[in-house]
Chains A and B, each alone.
Chain A
């Protein structure tokens, strides 16, 4: 199955996707502090360059606000006193918690549905050659429809609001979960399954006792991709008429050309996406440590 496409999007390590059965050698990752240092260096350089360019006027604040302005707006977003809500208006000042809670809540709901659907579907596809042959062409076609193209039909089916948002996030997250689960399940070495059977494992226990654990490293990669793609779908989902959420805030800011607010929205998106991925990785780590190179 076309795992490589998904993989290309997220810039993941091939060895990580293929799991321990892969013959592809993976290099040892950098140790803790080196990694932190390398990861912080580039943002620090960019920040310094940006401050210099803004300060000298080379970078006009019509194109990109200065660090100072942005810090000020960020402070407003998080800490300014909240205003009384006006119907139909998406607030910015003091509204950080409210928007983050709305976006993350939608994300969590859509993602939970995607996991509940994607894992069994992927396992089924990986275990049954018939199911794979029957579903694969249809599935590949459906999956090549971009998330934004689902928006109109989501609005027709669910109307403006939460239903459409959850549906879009589900659509965004489910694909990589299905593909990675199916792919890594189908790759489980036959020898492992044969051994389990010769040790007396009942055929109906094989999925749970052999296929699932053996495929887990690949599945976790799919879950991570799904989490990230689900999060990017949140912003599309919030075009479906939300008055809360980071996406809604950014589109409201665009209408009044508040570049600073748009950028703060983007940065918040980035940070939360990163935190989500780190959390998922931390939770999954003990279960897939055996597959570390």
Chain B
């Protein structure tokens, strides 16, 4: 691939105290590409994402976004984690307007209306976050960071806490949203199915300290969705990745 990388990490290493968590991670995400990162529980996936977001500095190695070194969080590469990141004292509408307002767009009305529409939350615009369901909150949290139109999105198990049906609906929604906006994405998950359904490419991490084990191209025809789950190529891919994960 010769497109410029939206985000690239080289040799990223990080330890907490004497415990090494990340060990020489290399990865790159092209513009508009969804990179799924799959790894066992506790291997350092969230830590990796925090480093990519600029919320933590690596001990060694480099992270670059758009050619510039990443040293702090930026609206260009926001991260959404499991559980709400909405401001509990603000209505949904004001939560979505936070980003544009922080960047100087006083009104932010049009962007917010469009996002409410895209998330199917128009009718809940004036509710407080605690008045929303878990799934609505998670969609809203993603919409909140998309309001600034970031070229890159970092998602840390965004649907981990949802029931299976809601999760599938949310995954379909996210696939459409990311495709429409051509938003490059790093999606961290420990769910093989989710990784293959959403990812264009899949990066498998080892147990702690996390290293890149292998990389799998996921060549499945768009549009992906619930029908993909029964596509024979998807089923075969899932079986082979699952076998590797279980043998590790």
A: which residues have CB within 8 A of B?
A: 20, 191-192, 194-202, 205, 210, 213-214, 216, 290-291
Interface residues of B in 47-96 (CB under 8 A from A): 53, 55, 72-75, 77-79, 81, 83, 85, 87-90
B122 to chain A, nearest CB (A): 21
A290/B103 contact (C-beta < 8 A), A198-B73, A199-B145 known:
no
Name the prevailing secondary structure of the A interface residues.
Answer: helix
Closest 8 A/B residue pairs (Cβ):
A199-B99, A200-B75, A200-B102, A198-B78, A195-B85, A290-B89, A197-B73, A200-B103
A267 to chain B, nearest CB (A): 39
A216/B73 contact (C-beta < 8 A), A194-B55, A198-B53, A198-B79 known:
no
Q: How far is the CA of A77 from the CA of B79 in the complex (A)?
A: 66
Pull 28 A–B residue pairs with CB atoms less than 8 Å apart, ordered by A.
Answer: A191-B81, A191-B83, A192-B85, A194-B73, A195-B78, A195-B85, A195-B87, A195-B144, A196-B98, A197-B72, A198-B73, A198-B74, A198-B75, A198-B78, A198-B145, A199-B75, A199-B78, A199-B98, A200-B74, A200-B99, A200-B103, A210-B87, A213-B87, A214-B87, A214-B88, A290-B130, A291-B88, A291-B89
B9 to chain A, nearest CB (A): 18
B115 to chain A, nearest CB (A): 13
Q: How far is the CA of A291 from the CA of B90 in the complex (A)?
A: 11
Q: How far is the CA of A192 from the CA of B203 in the complex (A)?
A: 29
B: which residues have CB within 8 A of A?
A: 53, 55, 72-75, 77-79, 81, 83, 85, 87-90, 98-99, 102-103, 128, 130, 144-145, 147-148
Q: How far is the CA of A183 from the CA of B128 in the complex (A)?
A: 24
CB-CB < 8 A to B85: which residues of A? 191-192, 194-195
Instruction: Among A199, A202, A214, point to the contact of B148 (Cβ < 8 A).
Output: A199
CB-CB < 8 A to B128: which residues of A? 290
Q: How far is the CA of A216 from the CA of B79 in the complex (A)?
A: 26
Asked if A200 and B148 make an inter-chain contact with CB atoms under 8 angstroms apart, the answer reads yes
B146 to chain A, nearest CB (A): 11
A199/B89 contact (C-beta < 8 A), A194-B73, A290-B128 known:
no
